[in-house]
Amino acid sequence: MARAAAVTTIAIVVAMTMVARTPREVTAMTCAEVDFDLLPCLSYIRNGGDVPSDCCNGLSGLVNAAKTTDDRRTACNCLKSLASGASNDELSRAAVIPDKCGIPLPYKFSPSTDCSK
């Protein structure tokens, strides 16, 4: 039941983002944008298997868009919020996505990451 609510929430956020998306150069990054970029990763995080190329493309887009310190902090906090409801298996799968996609991140993400640094 909680999973269905989470999927519904993500779908609503994605729909809103697609309608109201503004250029990132002009506005600060939002959690809706982070969710939108990482939505293709959801099936891998939940079920494992192969990381979809759309997931890697979304992560790459997110990393490229997070140009300022504030954007990187926002993205980090958004990811922490998403991770708060994930199982250990889901967290483990999510943690290896950057390596599987060949996308270097400046830190290893975990729910205990201090986003202020």
Q: Are 108 and 69 in contact (CB under 8 A)?
A: no
Mean pLDDT of 83-111: 88
Tell me the DSSP string of 9-77: HHHHHHHHHHHH---TTTS---HHHHHHHHGGGHHHHHH-SSPPHHHHHHHHHHHHH--SHHHHHHHHH
Of 13-17, 60-64, 100-104, the poorest mean pLDDT is in: 13-17
Question: pTM, whole model, 2 decimals?
Answer: 0.72
Superfamily the domain 2-101 falls into = Plant lipid-transfer and hydrophobic proteins (1.10.110.10)
Report the distance separating Cα 57 and Cα 114, nearest Å: 25
The token pair that represents 70 in the structure block: 């504030």
Q: What does the domain layout of the chain look like in residue ranges?
A: 2-101
Of 41-50, 56-65, 87-96, 104-113, the poorest mean pLDDT is in: 104-113
Give me the pLDDT at residue 100, please. Answer: 94
Report the distance separating Cα 107 and Cα 3, nearest Å: 28
Mean pLDDT of 71-79: 92
Q: In this predicted model, what pLDDT tens digit does every residue of 20-54 receive, in sequence order?
A: 444 445 568 999 999 999 999 999 999 999 999 99
